[in-house]
Amino acid sequence: MNLPMHAPASPVIHVNLQAGQCCVGGASHRMRTVLGSCVSITLWHPRRRVGAMSHFLLPSRRGPIKRLDGHYGEEALWLMLRGLARFGVNPQECQAKIFGGGNMFPQQTRSAAETVGEKNGALARSLLSAYRLPLVCENLFGIGHRQLHFDVSNGDVWVRQIVPAEIAPDLKERT
């Protein structure tokens, strides 16, 4: 019996990002993370099928920068851009998406105070604008955390926002 010859499929590379981490990879990469008040930026180049994803905790740090640290939004984007450059990707040709910035403690937040998540989301928007990276989608703010999955092969990002039961007892999950 003759079987058709097919090129072997590239193995899928699953990457779980923790807070402060960034990843840049090709079409075989599937990246995921869980965000609370943190924010994730994804960048995807549709023609080359190369993508980058961050998971940052704070907008920026005070004091001098000795070494880039992905815990801070500004530096996380620099790390992503540097990684994309290694693939020969022009970032302005990428599609950008922003996720996260949830309010994890709505009972403790003063109504006039800007939350850490809101600061992170605002910074992500301003960074993309400053670098002229086209923002095609965002899912920001609200209450609770988000689960995020980024498929670099096609640029799809799946997000599920989960509201704590004690905040909305009638609404256990919101997608």
From first CA to last CA, the distance across the chain in angstroms is: 48
Q: In what order do the strands lie in the sheet with 22-25?
A: 22-25, 50-54, 39-45, 95-100, 135-140
Structure tokens at 95: 């599609």
Note down the domain range covering 40.
14-162
pLDDT band at 167 (very low <50, low <70, confident <90, very high): low
Identify the pLDDT of residue 164: 76
Half-sphere exposure of 152 (CA within 13 A, CB side): 25
pLDDT in tens, 86-142: 999 999 999 999 999 998 887 776 666 788 999 999 999 999 999 999 999 999 999
Q: Is residue 115 part of a domain?
A: yes
CATH assignment of the domain containing 66? 3.30.1330.200
Q: Is residue 70 part of a domain?
A: yes
Q: Is residue 174 part of a domain?
A: no
Query: How many percent of the chain have pLDDT more than 70?
Result: 86
Q: Is residue 125 part of a domain?
A: yes
Q: Is residue 123 part of a domain?
A: yes
Q: In what order do the strands lie in the sheet with 156-162?
A: 13-16, 29-35, 145-151, 156-162
Number of domains in the chain: 1
**Residue linked to tokens 């990707």:** 89
Q: Is residue 58 part of a domain?
A: yes
Q: Is residue 170 part of a domain?
A: no
* Helix H or strand E segment including 12: none
Query: How many percent of the chain have pLDDT more than 90?
Result: 74
Q: Is residue 64 part of a domain?
A: yes
